[in-house]
Structure 1
Amino acid sequence: MTDQPRQALRFLWLYALAAAGGAVAYVPFLTILLPVRMSELSGAEDVEPLAYAAFAGAIAASLANIAFGGLSDRTGSRRGWILGGLALSSILLVSVRTTDDIAALIALIVLWQLALNMMLAPLAAWAGDLVPDAQKGFLGGLLAFAPAAGALAGAVVTWPGLADADGRLVLVVAMAAAMVLPVLLVGRPVPMPQLMVPVPASTRTDRPRSLVARMWMARLLVQLSEAALFAYLLYWFRSIDASVTDSDTARIFSLVLVAAVPFSLLAGRWSDRVDRPILPLAVTAAVASLGLVLMALAETREAAIGGYILFGLVASIFLALHSAQTLRVLPRPQTRGRDLGFFNLTNTTPSLIMPWLTLSLVPGFGFDALFTVLAALALLASLLLATARTRG
């Protein structure tokens, strides 16, 4: 491992900043600014149109991520797509305030998702082009900054008195651009031609197909739990203690994301040093299952918060490291962007599945039943990875 060429730390840190900028580009809008705008246009009847917008946006994001990942493969260049997607998505985002009815807003969201994924898909694939396997654990640790940055950006743009509704959209665009542009302009990555050697479809690789499938399924299973907690955390806290506020929930959520960063970096560096890329994923999925069990059993506010902190912390570590190690298992560099688009379905599909799973369990059996099912799914994810063959 020591004889392999290594990517410059300058590029790795700037890439992590860009990945965080990608999160800033959509997290504050989807979680805060879009619901506010939807309420302005539809009044109290905002839940249904917001659901339609989320559904249409998820479908557009899924398809666009595959398409633009594939297009960046074909052109052999990532930078231009990233820059173009940043510019177009920024223009469309600040145009949200010009919409004056629900249909126009949903149409604009679909276009924005297409442009956003013109940036995000090539950006994700670019790491596979330039970061060798010996540094992918560290890369995974760095990627933990992204969700934390998205959450913190939401707190910044909604700071009382800082900006009006129009100004908040401009702030999101400005922050995202300031974080993404440096790696494009001054990143100066070390070329890694060995990571770009085409592998014919008929060629057998040393990475079994079953490992790719296991990695895909394991992420989907853990993301189902993440999606559930993202959407229903406040409702669950209030079912245990009605005094819990949305501000309390936001602080806990942000604390978990920020705390995950140093732990992700430590776990990633360890996996690089001992060349055990899959083991931290199996362990964190198992501990996530334990956290969900504790949440299912919680009867007090303190127990609920403790269970969630355990789950949220290890799930965040899992997702960050998984994003980097996925680049290790994909077998063909010439289709890396497209293949990552298919992996991205594990991020978008849960938002389509979770409402139905929640409605089938919570009204009749309570949140403890939902968390028990999700704990079983996280445990299955751990078993899939713990029993995977990492060599052909």
Structure 2
Amino acid sequence: MTIPETYPCQSVRFLLLYALAVAGGAVAYIPFLTVLLPVQVTRLAGSEDVSWLAYATLGGALMASLSNILFGWLSDRTRNRTAWIAIGMVLSGVLLVAMAKATTLTTLIALIATWQVGLNMMLAPLAAWAGDTIPDGQKGTLGGLLAFAPALGALAGAIVTIPGLAVAESRLWIVAALVAVMVLPVLAFGKPNALPHLMDDAVADAGSNDPHALKSRSSVIRMWLARLLIQIAEAALFAYLLFWFRSIDEGIGDNDTARIFTFVLAVAVPVALIVGRWSDRTGRPILPLMMASGMSATGLIVMAMAGSLAFAISGYVLFSLSASVFLSLHTSQTLRVLPRARHRGRDLGVFNLTNTVPSLIMPWLTLALVPVFGFAGLFWLLGGLAFVASVLLAGMLQSPAKTAN
């Protein structure tokens, strides 16, 4: 099947509603995992809250990994993404609200594992739906729009924790309601344009054996490894940023760290939109990813060499901004390299392992390096990993491709 260069694009309405739904997916887990769950664990575990939170997080990550692959595969087999999204949204919302009723830690952990099943019943088909509906010529724009997701997830967490706004149980209701308000519009009013070539495996087969094609096995492996390496660095900074800042300046507090984090998320949105749109217009989908991972490596090296708080913050902002843009654009461009439309949901589930595996790797890296070499040793290693990611992506660079828009 030959794809005309003027093949119709997806509607702006669907792109915007889809990006809103993905942001709703982020709202479904970011406030809970970062703020509401630790409070709930502390209420039940007391002084042993750190250990129990680690158990809950680990169990949830394992369940998320397995269920994301499962429901991606099921949505492939049934050829129905929207039904799974709707059922998963309802199930995850009900289970989220039920967390407030947990009276023991074992009950809470069981609920978290089950909630991850419902959450990924929604998230896996939602991710695959973009591959079914959005052509390559708009994937950069999609990646830019996806940068709103973590920013809105963090904003939701800030809103539901406003002092006096709501008690613990009501906060979970607010999160569940926000998710429904953000996801339902694309299900009810999205109505994507039909682009049948996106579901035709013959298109992918044409380039799957070409080592220079983006749909080659080599490209899939490179994209998977590059994201894993950047995510390892991102996970380490997310967990230990405040500790590192305080090792440089004891006066810095958690509110200062939160403001820096919020600033980066806010700036990342317009940068990702501009870069993503540029990649569509120029037909260079991989170049921004290569450059962003290289800049992430540079930021980490600056952090490793930092001797003052200003220098440290500058390095972190460079790393975090670059990594945020990388992850948003990588999410959409991954759809470009997957070789089989009929296995898109399953394959995206495998790519999702790059989001969960780092939480298993990062603690061991930190324990091995920080006590001996300090945070500088950790950042030198992470900078090296980010540089490797850039080199991997450099091997995928091609001549500018013609796009439909």
TM-score range, shorter chain: over 0.9
In 2, Cα distance between equivalents of 1:321 and 1:198:
24
State the partner residue of 2:369: 361
Distance 1:200 1:294, change over 3 A: closer
State the partner residue of 2:282: 274
State the partner residue of 2:34: 31
SS in 1 for 2:201: coil
Q: After TM superposition, list the pairs within 5 Å mapping 1:197-212 onto structure 2.
A: 197-199=200-202, 205=208, 206=213, 207-212=215-220
2:321 counterpart (302, 306, 313):
313
2:134 counterpart (113, 116, 131):
131
Kindly indicate whether residue 125 of structure 2 is the aligned counterpart of residue 116 of structure 1.
no
Kindly indicate whether residue 72 of structure 2 is the aligned counterpart of residue 73 of structure 1.
no
In 2, Cα distance between equivalents of 1:250 and 1:364:
28
Letter of the structure 1 residue corresponding to residue 53 of structure 2: L
SS in 1 for 2:48: coil
Q: Tell me how large the CA RMSD over aligned residues is.
A: 1.4
1:193 counterpart (191, 196, 211):
196
1:388, distance to aligned residue in structure 2 (A): 2.1
In 1, Cα distance between equivalents of 2:75 and 2:191:
19
Kindly indicate whether residue 346 of structure 2 is the aligned counterpart of residue 343 of structure 1.
no
Do the aligned residues in 1 keep the contact of 2:286 with 2:397 (CA within 8 Å)?
no
State the partner residue of 2:330: 322
Q: Deviations over 1:331-386 (max 9, x none)?
A: 10000000000000000000111001000011111101000000000000000001
TM-score (norm 2): 0.94
Letter of the structure 1 residue corresponding to residue 144 of structure 2: G
1:141 counterpart (144, 150, 158):
144
Kindly indicate whether residue 221 of structure 2 is the aligned counterpart of residue 213 of structure 1.
yes
TM-score (norm 1): 0.98
Do the aligned residues in 1 keep the contact of 2:72 with 2:125 (CA within 8 Å)?
yes
In 2, Cα distance between equivalents of 1:354 and 1:240:
22
2:104 counterpart (101, 106, 122):
101
Kindly indicate whether residue 189 of structure 2 is the aligned counterpart of residue 181 of structure 1.
no
Letter of the structure 1 residue corresponding to residue 346 of structure 2: R
1:145, distance to aligned residue in structure 2 (A): 0.5
SS in 2 for 1:44: helix
1:160, distance to aligned residue in structure 2 (A): 1.1
In 2, Cα distance between equivalents of 1:268 and 1:389:
16
Do the aligned residues in 1 keep the contact of 2:287 with 2:397 (CA within 8 Å)?
no
SS in 1 for 2:7: coil
Letter of the structure 2 residue corresponding to residue 355 of structure 1: P
2:50 counterpart (41, 47, 51):
47
State the partner residue of 2:402: none
Letter of the structure 2 residue corresponding to residue 140 of structure 1: G
1:163 counterpart (163, 166, 169):
166
State the partner residue of 2:384: 376
Unaligned runs of 5+ in 1: none
State the partner residue of 2:311: 303
Do the aligned residues in 2 keep the contact of 1:208 with 1:390 (CA within 8 Å)?
no
Do the aligned residues in 2 keep the contact of 1:199 with 1:331 (CA within 8 Å)?
no
State the partner residue of 1:294: 302
1:203, distance to aligned residue in structure 2 (A): 7.1
Letter of the structure 2 residue corresponding to residue 188 of structure 1: K
Do the aligned residues in 1 keep the contact of 2:197 with 2:203 (CA within 8 Å)?
no
State the partner residue of 1:83: 86
The alignment of Structure 1 onto Structure 2 pairs a total of residues equal to: 391
Q: Deviations over 1:305-340 (max 9, x none)?
A: 111111110100000000000000001000000000
Q: Which portions of structure 1, spanning 4 or more consecutive aligned residues, are displaced by more than 3 angstroms?
A: 198-204
Unaligned runs of 5+ in 2: 400-405
1:286, distance to aligned residue in structure 2 (A): 0.3
In 2, Cα distance between equivalents of 1:179 and 1:197:
30
SS in 2 for 1:5: coil
